[in-house]
Amino acid sequence: MKIAMVSAHASPLAEPGSPAAGGRNVHVAALSAALVRAGHQVTVYTRRDDPHIRTEVVTREGYLVVHVPAGPPKPLPRDQILRHLGEFGTFLRRHWSLYPVDMVHAHFWISALAAELAAREHRLPVIVSFHGLGTVVRRHEGLADTSPRSRIRFERLIALRAAHVLASCSEEAAELARMGLPRLRASIVPGGVDPAAFTGDGSAASTGARHRLLAVGRLSRRKGFELAVRALAELPGTELVIAGSAVGDALDDDAEGRRLRRIASEYGVQERFRLLGPVSHIGMPRLYRSADVVLCTPQYEPFGLVPLEAMACRRPVVATAVGGMLDTVVDGVTGRLVASPDPDGIARAVRPLLEDRTLRETWGAAGDDRARSRYGWDRIAAATLHAYHRVAPERAAKVVAPAR
C-alpha cells in the first residue's frame, strides 16, 4: 500500500534531543522505516523549514520525505504553523492528484487538519495519531498553555471525522472517549523502541564513584526535572544528570536550565547535578547504560519514549504515574510508578534500587523483556497496519513495489 504520513511540524530527519525535535520525530521516522520493512511505500510530508534542503529526500531506510513549502522556510514554533495550513493542505491535495496514495496517517492535530482538508477531495481514509491532546495540556498548563485557542474544538472535530484514531496509551484513549469519540473508533497503538540500537549490552558512558540517576528530555517545565533535583537532596552519594536541549535558547541562558541550577543550589546538590545538553540519538544507549536508575517524572506525558528506551537498555525506571508510563512501566516489576509526584515519593522509590544491585538487575531484565516483546517498532507497525486494514481492507491489501 502507498502510505502518506503527514507530519507538518515533526520532521523524521531532525536530530532528536535538539530544541525542535523529540519523541514525535523519532516515532514518525521509526514507524515509517518499519512500514517500509513490512513491504509498503511510505512518503512523509513535513513543512520545509530550511531554504537549502532538497524538496525530496529518499532516506536510507527507504521512505521518501517531501518538504512541503508552507510559510517561511525557517523553523517556526509549533503553535505558529496553523496559519500556514491552507498552503500545506493545498500542496497535499495537488501532490496526491499526481501521486495517488491509499492511506493517509496524520501525526498531531495540526497535520490532521491539513490532511483531512486535502483527503476529502480524493476520498482518502485519514488515520490520526494525536500524540497528546489539547484538553490535557489545558488542564495542566492553564494560562501558560500556548496552543491556539481553537485546538480543543478542532481536535474533537478531527477525531470525529477521522476514519480511525490511534491513541498512544490507555489514558489518551479514555480522554478521547470523554471528548465523545465512540470507543470502537480508536485503537491503542503506542510508541516503540529500536531493539537493535537500545540494548543492555555494550559500553557505557563513564561515571564516577557515585550512583547515577539519569533523566532525559527537552528542558521544559512539564518534564518535571525539578522533582528529580529536589529528590537528589534526599539521596546522598548520588548524582543526577539530565540529557536534552534547552527549548529555544542556549543551555546557559535557558530559563528552565537556570531555574533547575538555582533549585540545585538551594538544596545544596549543585555539585552532584549536571545538565549535559543534547546528546546524539545514537549516543543515547551508552548514556542509559551508565545510569543506575532512569527517572521519568513529567507532570503529564502523551506517551514517553524515554522509559521504553531505558527499559530496553535494562535499566529500572522510576516514573510518575501519568500518560504512557501507566502502560509501559509495571510497578514493582520493571520499576516504580510514583502516584504522588513529590520529591519524597521519588526518593523513597529510588533508594531501595540504589541499595540493592540485584533488584536493579532484576527489574532491568524485566523491563528489557517487556520492551523487546511488546514495543519493537516492527510490532508497532503491525498494530498500525491492523488499524489500516480495519478501516479500508481493500486499500490496505494493495501490493506495491517497495520504493518509488
Smaller CB distance to ligand UDP: residue 71 or 190? Answer: 190
Beta strand 317-320 with 211-216 is unpaired
Cβ burial, residue 98 (10 Å; 0-12/13-18/19+) = exposed
Residues that bind ligand UDP (CB under 6 A): 16-17, 22-24, 26, 216-218, 243-244, 278-279, 281, 284, 303-306, 309
Task: Count Cβ atoms below 10 Å from residue 237 Cβ, excluding itself.
Answer: 9
* 171/309 with CB nearer ligand UDP: 309
Closer to ligand UDP at the Cβ: 118 or 293?
A: 293
**Could you write out the DSSP letters of every residue in 43-109?**
EEEEE---TTS-SEEE-TTS-EEEEE--S-SS---GGGSGGGHHHHHHHHHHHHHHS--SEEEEESH
- For residue 32, the minimal CB distance to ligand UDP (Å) is 15
Nearest distance from C-beta of residue 304 to ligand UDP, angstroms: 5
Nearest approach, Cβ of 303 to ligand UDP (angstroms)? Answer: 6
Contact 97, 122 (CB under 8 A): yes
Least Å distance, CB 292 to ligand UDP, is 18
| CB closest to ligand UDP, residue no | 22
Shortest reach from residue 172's CB to ligand UDP, in Å: 13
In the complex, least distance from residue 169 CB atom to ligand UDP, rounded to whole angstroms: 11
**Cβ distance to ligand UDP smaller for residue 10 or 163:** 10
CA dihedral 135, 15, 316, 202 (to 10 degrees): 170
Cβ-based nearer residue to ligand UDP, 124 or 189: 189
Write the CA distances from 19 to 115, 250, 349, integer angstroms: 25, 9, 30
DSSP state of 321: S
**100 or 283: CB nearest ligand UDP:** 283
